Amino acid sequence: MQQVNLAISTIDAVIVIAYLAAAVLFGMWIGRGQRDLPGYLLGGRDLPWWAILGSIVATETSTATFLSVPGIAFAAGGDLRFLQLAIGYIGGRVVVALVLLPHYFRGNLFTAYEVLEQRFGGATKQTSSLLFLVARNLGDGLRLFLAGIALEKVLGVDLHVCIVLIGLVTIGYTFFGGMKAVVWSDCIQFVVYIVGGLVAGVILIRALPGGWREFLSFAQETGRLRVFDLRLQSTADFHILTEPFTFWSGLLGGAVLTLGTHGTDQMMVQRYLCARSQPDAARALVLSGGVVLLQFTLFLLLGVGLACFYAQMSPETTFDRNDEVFATFIVEHLPVGLIGITLAAVFAAAMSTLSSSLNSSATAVLNDLYLPRVGSDLAVGQLLNTSRRFTILFGLLQIGIGIGASYLSDSVVSNALAIAGFTAGILLGVFGLGVLTRRVNQAGAFAGMVTGVVVLTIVKFMTPVAWPWYAIIGAIATYGTGLLYSLFDPEIALPETTMTEQQDEM
C-alpha cells in the first residue's frame, strides 16, 4: 500500500499526539496516592461492575480486531457468520460465572493460578503462570507489531518508531496508574473506538450514491447478511472441523475458548478480583458477552459497507490483505480531523489490550514466581516498586517482540499468534482436573499440560482443523491425560478432595 505523508494532516497528527499524552497524564492522575499492592494491582477491590464490563470488552478488542473484523465481511464471499463465535462467547461466560468465579472469591487472591496451588501445589501454579506469561507476552508483542503496521500505513512513520511509541505510552500510564488506571482508561478507550467506528460508518454510508438503501440492496444481493451456517460436513471433507465460521464451531469452539480465555487467563480474572463482590463480577462478565456481540456486528457491517463502496469505486492502491481495507478508507476518504479521531480509536483498541497485558503479567510474575522465592515479608513500598519494575520489563519485552516480528514473514507471525492462543484449552483442562476430579495429583496435571501442548502443535501444523476447535482439543487432551495418568499412578492410594471441597473446609 502507498503510505500517506504525515505533513498533509497536521491537525490529525495533533489529535493523535494529544490523545497519547492525555492517556499518560490520566494514568498519573488516577495513580496518585496509591500506597499498597491491592490498590495498585487490583484497584483496591472496589471498582464498579459497569467499569469492569467496559474493561473486559476493551481488553479483548485489539487493533487486529478493529481492523481485521471488517476485512472478514469485506472479503469475497464474506458475510456475518463470524457472529456465531460471539454467540458461543456468551455461553462460555455464563459457565465461567457459575463454575469458576466462586473459586476466585474464596480468600484474598491476586492471580487465577493461586487456586491451582490450593489443589495441586506450588509447582502447578508456577508452571501455569509461566505458560500464561510466555503466551501472553508473545501474543501481545505481536499485537503491538500489528498496531505498529496500522500506524505506519496511515502516517508514513517508520514501523519501529511506531512500535516503540505505542509501547512507551502504554508503559507510561500503566506504570503510574496501576490496575485502576487500566480499567478506567479501558472504559474511555472503549467509547473512543466505538465512536470512531460509528463515525466512519456514517461517512461510509453517506459516500454511497444510494445511501442506506444501496447498502442494504448490495448486502442482500451478495449474501453478506448471512449469519448462520448449520452444515455439518461437505462432500470433500469434514466441513464442521475445517471451516472456522460454522454454527457448531462458533457455539462449541467459541464457548470453550471463552472458558479458557475468560475463566483461566490472568488478564481477565484480575478484572473480576477488582469487583466489589462476586455478583458484581458475574454481572460484568455475562453482560460483556452481549456488548461484544453488538460490537462485532458494527465491525462486520463496516466491512459490508466497504465492500459496497469499493465495488463501485476502485481504490487508489491495491490491497495485499483484507485487513488493510478499513485503514485505507480512513486515510483516503475521512475528512481532516475525523482521521485523527479514528486513528485515536485505533490506538485505543491497541492500548487497552496492551496495558491489561502489562499489569496482569506483572501481577502474575510477582505473586506466582517472585514472592515464593524471596519471601512475602517485604515492605509494602518494596512490593509496589517491584511490581512497577516488572511492568516496565514486560513493556520493553513486548516492544522487542514487536520489533523482532517485523523481520518475520506474515505466515510465521500468524502461526505464532495461533500458538499463543493454545493456553486457553490447556489451562482450562488443568482447572477442570482441579474442579471436577478427586484422584488427579500434581504429576497428572503436568502430564496433561505436556500432552495438551504436543497435541495442539500437531493439530495446528499437520491438520486442516480450524482454529476455533483448538481450545476444545487442548482441554480434552489435557483433562483426559490427567485422568488416565491418575489411574496408573501407584502413589495415588485414596481419592483426593476436589478443589471445591478443599476450599469449603477453609
- For 301-334, write each residue's pLDDT tens digit: 999 998 888 877 766 666 666 767 787 787 777 7
What's the rounded Cα separation, in Å, for the pair 128 and 118?
Answer: 13
In-domain check, residue 416 = no
pLDDT of residue 494: 44
Q: Which amino acid is at 19?
A: Y
Apex 95 CA angle, 93 and 101, nearest 5: 85
CA distance 23 to 244: 36
What digits encode the pLDDT tens for the residues 390-406?
A: 999 999 999 998 898 87
C-alpha cell at 342: 479514528
Q: How far is CA 41 from CA 169, 174, 240, 328, 355, in A?
A: 19, 10, 42, 38, 12
> 142 and 413 in contact (C-beta within 8 Å)?
yes
> Residues 367, 502: one domain?
no
- The H-or-E segment that residue 506 falls in is none
The partner residues of 275 in beta bridges, in order of sequence, read 47
For residue 493, CA distances in Å to 240, 433, 448 come to 42, 17, 20
Nearest to 431 by CA among 311, 220, 256: 256
Amino acid symbol at 147? A
Say if CB 133 and CB 398 are below 8 A apart. no
Q: Is residue 411 part of a domain?
A: no
Q: Are residues 138 and 401 in contact, defined by beta-carbon separation less than 8 angstroms?
A: yes
Q: Which amino acid is at 496?
A: E
Alpha-carbon span 294 to 194, nearest angstrom: 11
3 state DSSP class of 117 = helix
Is 426 found in the same domain as 483?
yes
Q: How confident is the model at residue 179 (pLDDT cuts 50, 70, 90)?
A: confident
- State pLDDT tens for residues 102-146: 888 876 667 778 878 878 888 888 888 888 888 888 888 888 887
Q: Are residues 313 and 183 in the same domain?
A: yes
Residue recorded with cell 502430564: 447
Decide: residue 94, CB within 10 A, 0-12 exposed, 13-18 middle, 19+ buried: middle
The DSSP H or E segment spanning 503 is: helix 499-505
Type of residue found at 292: V
Q: Report the C-alpha gap between 158 and 494 in whole angstroms.
A: 62
349: pLDDT strictly greater than 90: no
Q: Which of 421, 490, 382 is nearest to 257 (CA)?
A: 421
Q: Are residues 382 and 493 in the same domain?
A: no
Question: Domain end: 406, 437, 466, which one?
Answer: 406
Quote the cell numbers at residue 112: 487465577
Same domain, 381 and 501: no
Whether residue 429 is contained in a domain is answered as yes
**Do 371 and 466 fall into the same domain?**
no
Q: What are phi and psi of 275, to 5 degrees?
A: -75, 160
> CA 175 to CA 28: how far, in whole Å?
8
Q: Evaluate whether residue 475 is within a structural domain.
A: yes
Residues 428, 295, single domain; the answer is no
Give pLDDT tens digits for 433-481. 887 887 888 888 889 999 998 998 888 778 877 766 788 888 899 999 9
Nearest CA among 353, 360, 357, 190 for reference residue 270:
360
Range of the domain at 502: 422-506
Radius of gyration of the chain (CA): 23
pLDDT range class, residue 418, cuts 50, 70, 90:
low
Please, is 395 exposed, middle or buried when counting C-beta atoms within 10 Å of its C-beta (0-12, 13-18, 19+)?
Answer: buried
For residues 292 and 368, membership in a common domain is answered with: yes
- Nearest of 427, 429, 444, 408 to residue 477 by alpha carbon: 429
Of 354, 373, 406, the last residue of a domain is 406
Q: Which three cell numbers stand for residue 369?
A: 514466581
Give a yes or no: residue 348 inside a domain: yes
| Out of 1-5, 351-355, 416-420, 430-434, least confident range | 1-5
316 shares its domain with 169: yes
Distance CA 427, CA 96 (A): 13
pTM score, whole prediction: 0.79
Largest CA distance in the chain: 76
H/E element holding 473? Answer: helix 470-488
pLDDT tens figures, 228-279: 877 665 444 455 555 666 677 677 777 888 888 888 888 888 889 889 899 9
d(CA 239, CA 241): 5
Q: What is the CATH number of the domain that holds 369?
A: 1.20.1730.10
Is residue 376 domain-shared with residue 463, that is, in the same domain?
A: no
The residue among 341, 375, 406 that closes a domain is 406
Query: Confidence class of residue 69 from pLDDT cuts 50, 70 and 90?
Result: confident
**Three-state secondary structure call for residue 394:** helix
Q: How far apart, in whole angstroms, are the C-alpha atoms of residue 179 and residue 354?
A: 12
Question: Confidence class of residue 5 from pLDDT cuts 50, 70 and 90?
Answer: very low
In this structure, is residue 106 part of a structural domain? yes
Question: Does any domain span residue 54?
Answer: yes
Cell matching residue 275: 469487583
Split into its structural domains, the chain has a count of 2
User: How many CB atoms lie under 10 A from the CB of residue 171?
Assistant: 23
Is there a single domain that holds both residue 306 and residue 224? yes
Angle at 484 between CA 262 and CA 482, to 5 degrees: 30
Contact in structure between 486 and 444 (CB atoms under 8 Å): yes
376 in the same domain as 467: no
Which of the 8 DSSP states describes residue 222?
T
Residue with cell 518508531: 161
Tell me which DSSP letter residue 369 carries.
I
Residue 81 is which amino acid? Answer: R
3-state secondary structure of 119: helix
HSE-up of residue 345 (Cα within 13 Å, Cβ side): 24
Other beta carbons within 10 angstroms of residue 391's beta carbon come to 24
Do residues 402 and 137 touch, judged by C-beta distance below 8 A? Answer: no
Question: Which is nearest to 262 in space by CA: 281, 237, 235, 244?
Answer: 281
Strand partners, 47: 275
Residue 221 covered by a domain:
yes
